Structure formats: structure tokens, C-alpha cells
Amino acid sequence: MSSRDEALCQACGACCAYSAEWPRFALETDAQLAKIPRAYVDEACGRMRCGGDRCSALTGELGVATACAVYAARPDVCRECEPGDAACGTARAHIGLAPVMRPELSTP
Ligand code: SF4
Ligand code: SF4
């Protein structure tokens, strides 16, 4: 992720608080999952533990300044998030933020 994208995401956090169903584990290995502190994991559901729709690893204030407490060990789905893609736009709209303009993502 570029430093521009990192700055965008740190001032947002919307996709980490959109749905408890989003930060779900998929193809991670046991070794990868073991790096995530258990306090942040919902073992029964196979995903990050959430409070409502917000991932328990998200710190800070949405739309202002946020961070991921397990950034280096975050699940694959979190690594695939791309500022400016459709899911990003949906999550940002949910908290009242304008979409990230990335013309290169809308060209076929
Ligand atoms: S919704 Fe988009 S800009 Fe906001 S944190 Fe997620 S990927 Fe980054
Ligand atoms: S693990 Fe980190 S990047 Fe993934 S949803 Fe939770 S706070 Fe966001």
C-alpha cells in the first residue's frame, strides 16, 4: 500500500467498522492466524472479534484517525482492501465520507 493510501485509510477506518462479516478468515494458514492475539479473534465464527459491526482491532475515531492493532498480522481480506474500490465506497458512504477518487480502478 502506498503512503498516500495509508494516510487515506488512517483517516478513515470505515471498512473495519462496516460489518462483522467482513473481517472473516479465508485461506490463512494456522501459522498466520496464530500471529493474531486471541483477544481479537472470534474462534467460533472464524473471523475477527467484533463489537457490533466494528472490528475489535480497530482503534481510534472513525473518519478522523484510526489504526489496526494487529496490522502486521491482519487477515487476508484486510490486505485486499483497496482505497477507491467498490467496497471502500460502500463503507465510506456508510459513515458519511465521500468516495476516494481512483480513476484507474474504474477502467475495464
Ligand atoms: S474504507 Fe477505503 S479508505 Fe477507508 S479504510 Fe477502508 S480501504 Fe481505506
Ligand atoms: S483486523 Fe485490522 S484491518 Fe482488519 S478489519 Fe480489523 S482493524 Fe481492520
Q: Which residues line ligand 2 (CB under 6 A)?
A: 16, 23, 48, 55, 57-58, 68, 70, 74-75, 78
Q: Does 107 map to a domain?
A: no
Q: Does 92 map to a domain?
A: yes
Q: Does 105 map to a domain?
A: no
Structural domain containing residue 41 = 3-99
Q: Which of 48, 77, 79 to mutate to test the pocket of ligand 2 (most atoms within 8 A of CB)?
A: 48
Q: Does 78 map to a domain?
A: yes
CA 72 – CA 55 distance, rounded (Å): 15
- Count of domains forming the chain: 1
Summarize the chain as % helix, strand, coil (round to 5). Answer: 35, 15, 45
Q: Does 75 map to a domain?
A: yes
Tell me the pLDDT tens digit for each residue of 11-32.
999 999 999 999 999 999 999 9
Alpha helix (H) residue ranges in 1-108: 3-10, 30-34, 76-80, 86-94, 103-106
Q: Does 108 map to a domain?
A: no
**Which residue is closest in CA terms to ligand 2's atom 1?**
74
Tell me the pLDDT tens digit for each residue of 29-87.
999 999 999 999 999 999 999 999 999 999 999 999 999 999 999 999 999 989 999 99
pTM for the full predicted model? 0.92
